[in-house]
Homo-oligomer: A and B are copies of this chain.
Amino acid sequence: MINPFTDEYFMKKALQEAEIAFDKGEIPVGAIVVVNNVVIARSHNLTELLNDVTAHAEMQAITAAANYLGGKYLKDCTMYVTLEPCQMCAGALYWSQISKIVFGASDESRGFLKMGTQLHPKTVVKRGVLAEEASDLMKRFFATKRK
């Protein structure tokens, strides 16, 4: 039997969130949190709208997922996020003790891997899922901004 709940399936939902951010003039990053194949949180970057550097997609998704679960730890959860998390978001994911992080495009300048931000020892990371789609969206966004 074919499993429809692949990483690509869920990353597409995160990409849909990124597209919503794009349409709002926000840097297009989207994130969702999944537990047992159910999406329990979805969010996109809102730093411009909220005038708040902490309003990254991942931060909102962590808060929303904890609210849904009624507890602050995301131990059996997977986050799908279109761009590699930054120091702040990786630091928040550390505190959340999330089980798995799947990200799309790498962020070679400000991503947590280059910055050396520490995740929780139990957190598994998978990278590069629909990376090209996420990266294309970012490039399209910054090309528009330069016009």
The interface of chain A, by Cβ under 8 A from chain B, is: 47, 51-54, 59, 62-63, 66-67, 70-73, 86-92, 94-96, 115-118
A117 CB, min distance to chain B CBs, angstroms: 5
Interchain CA distance A96-B94 in the complex, whole Å: 21
Q: Give how many copies assemble into the complex.
A: 2
A117 & B87 in contact (Cβ 8 Å cutoff): yes
Q: A116-B116, A117-B117 are in contact. Are A92 and B51 (CB under 8 A)?
A: no
Q: Which residues of B contact A115 (CB under 8 A)?
A: 117-118
Q: A116-B116, A117-B115 are in contact. Are A70 and B51 (CB under 8 A)?
A: yes
B96 & A92 in contact (Cβ 8 Å cutoff): no
Q: Which residues of B contact A92 (CB under 8 A)?
A: 53-54, 88
